[in-house]
Amino acid sequence: MDDRRPNILMIMADQFRLTTLDGMGDRIPTPNIRRIMDRGVVFTQASCTSPLCTPSRASLATGRYPSRCGVPVHDMVLPPEQTTYYQLLRQAGYRVGVAGKTDLHKHDAYCGPRGDLPSMYHYGFTDPFEVEGKMNSGRLSFYPDGSKHLMGPYQHYLEEKGLLDTLAAHYALLNANRDQTAMGKYPPYYAAPSVLPDEDFQDAFIGRAACSWLEKVEDDLPWHYLVSFDGPHCAWDPPMGDYEAVKELDLPLPLEDDLKGKPRWVRERAAQQTGTMSREDAVMLRRCYAGSVHHIDVWVGRMLDILQARGLRRNTAVIFCADHGEMLGDHGLLCKRAMYEASVRVPLVVSLPGMSSRRDSGALAQLMDLAPTCLDLAGVHYDRSSMDARSLLPLLEGQIDDGDHNRWQISELDNCQMVYDGRFKLIRSQNDTDELYDLKDDPNELHNVIDAHPDVAARLLSYTYKD
């Protein structure tokens, strides 16, 4: 059988900053991700629909905003009646595989010993290998008889190697202080190389599974393969070898902000998370983040090499993206759950078959736009009116200009919402201070100008989910 519809390899990192892309500010070399950038379109203004794992990934799966696909907050399950683009690809004859984290059933963290729960098939995967999320991988659960209730393939792997108790003990100490005042052994900004051998690191486990699938998958049918790494998500604990590879890099320090004009909840969270963080702590934090990025980049290179060796690259679209960004100390904040640039902006790079050079696009792309994009690439019919997302394919093929894609971006959290029009960003916080930033004059979001521009704030507030 000769089916020339393109394969789609989507590589997703968790909590990866847009500025971490090679040459975009964080000064972390990523030569293998750069291979995708050099033969594709780099969306320099891409955003997520929620700077939080579960809502963002549900939005990607359905092409709908979190509040419209039934997953507005973190600890939820994507309702089974929601249509996913994975289902539509499967129905059109695609093999649909995944290796790594999906977060489509976050409320129930159990993934099964082989990562192939029935729910994964329902969501549209034909070849599932779901791996528990990073913090869940080090969290122990027990049956009533006291035996361990292992949550997924990675915990089974660690248990077999005698390493699960080591990781669990370490992560228990981290979690005890991660969201509290920095008075314990490990403050919220603590970062250090992994307590595990390099080959047993979680993203190495995911990377090996992904490479094995790519080496063996038949080419009789087209496929869509999601490789979903758990890093560089906190805890910031890269493999020692990757830390050694980047520890001498001259990395930028976090963006300083006196937090004037910021909501009270932001000021309180900053004091809690980084109030005692020293310059040396900040340097270590960024080095460990860079080590985790380096580790992912190595596996990206191995996957690209497999495609090349098998002759699959010429008919495979390659996408690199992330579910949301990482504050990494900017504005005094860590991790995600904020509408500032470091958290809400995501890398989004698409390399289609036949592309041979790089093009940067300032279109207001959103991560969920990949859902209709993949369907259009596969030639799959779908109800466009059911999605909030817009296909990027017309942009990728040069049929429309950047400004013709979206007029604004929206991102949601349970306590705030962002609307951005390409220059002005409005952040509404429930029962707290609203913010307006002119990113043309103030790209670092240091000056809240909402009092000076009430007309702009009112205009952005009037934007809705449908243009």
Predicted local distance difference test score (pLDDT) of residue 1:
44
Mean pLDDT by 10 residues, the chain (467 residues): 84 98 97 98 98 98 97 94 98 98 93 97 98 92 94 98 95 67 71 97 98 97 98 96 97 97 97 96 98 98 98 97 98 98 98 97 98 98 95 97 95 96 97 97 98 96 73
- For residues 89 and 124, is the Cβ–Cβ distance under 8 A? yes
* H runs (alpha helix) in 335-423: 341-344, 370-378, 393-396
Instruction: Count the neighbouring beta carbons within 10 Å of the beta carbon of residue 280.
Output: 8
- For residues 233 and 383, is the Cβ–Cβ distance under 8 A? no
Structure tokens at 152: 């997924």
The span from the CA of 458 to the CA of 156, in Å, is 53
> How wide is the angle at C-alpha 55 spanned by C-alphas 50 and 59, nearest 5°?
90
Predicted local distance difference test score (pLDDT) of residue 180:
45
Placement of tokens 């690209």 in the chain:
304
Predicted local distance difference test score (pLDDT) of residue 90:
98
Name the E strands within 268-370.
316-322, 348-351, 359-361
Q: Give the contacts of 336 (CB within 8 A, at least 6 positions apart).
A: 15, 51, 52, 53, 324, 325, 326, 327, 343
The span from the CA of 79 to the CA of 89, in Å, is 19
**What does the domain layout of the chain look like in residue ranges?**
7-401
Predicted local distance difference test score (pLDDT) of residue 18:
98
Identify the CATH homologous superfamily for domain 7-401: Alkaline Phosphatase, subunit A (3.40.720.10)
Predicted local distance difference test score (pLDDT) of residue 183:
42
Q: Give the contacts of 342 (CB within 8 A, at least 6 positions apart).
A: 17, 19, 255, 325, 326, 327, 328, 330, 331
| 131-170 core/surface letters (b: 16 or more CB in 10 A; e: else) | bbbbbbbbbbeeeeeeeeebbbbbbbbbeeeebbeebbeb
Predicted local distance difference test score (pLDDT) of residue 182:
40
Look up residue 135 and give its amino acid.
M
